[in-house]
Amino acid sequence: MDPFALVILGGIAALLLWLLLLGRYSPGSGLDQIGWKSAREIYETREALEAEDLDQMLEAANARRRARGEPDVTVEELEMRVVADQNDQRRRREQLLADRELDELLEATNARRRARGLPERTREEVQRDSGRRGVAGA
């Protein structure tokens, strides 16, 4: 065998052995060595920071409330307020979608009524009659 090839193969083998030993006996994981964090660590850190932010904001808001002579707000009360706001937002969204659906249905009904030579129906008529015959009965 050629001495040059022997030196190159020996160097490659020594490099591989060095990398294996380095990986085996170095402290921590590979992620630690390059400064990365696992997804679990990132999630836990984010949760801890958000909890700390919530505590700080709640304490600042309560300090202002105490200065005005109002009672403190607890985390539970704040969560209940958020849930109530979300429910109100959901209710308004559903009402908006129902109004849009009624408008579309009324437009289709009025198009058919125009084609038959009948007078168009208004939104108020449909809402008044909806209890008796369905939403936009023609």
Same domain, 48 and 91: no
Q: Is residue 3 part of a domain?
A: no
- At 69 the pLDDT is 95
Question: Does one domain contain both 89 and 66?
Answer: no
Residue with tokens 């849009």: 100
Ranges of residues in the chain whose predicted pLDDT is under 70: 30, 131-138
pLDDT at 36 (0 to 100): 80
- Whether 96 is covered by a domain: the verdict is yes
Question: 50 in helix, strand or coil?
Answer: helix
Distance (Å, whole) CA 86 – CA 99: 20
> pLDDT of 61-81, one tens digit each?
999 999 999 999 998 998 999
CB 102 within 8 A of CB 126: yes
Q: Give the pLDDT score at 138.
A: 44
Contacts of 130 (CB under 8 A, 6+ apart): 136
Q: Supply the range of the domain harboring residue 47.
A: 36-72
Cα of 34 vs its chain's centroid, Å: 31
User: Which DSSP symbol is given to 119?
Assistant: P
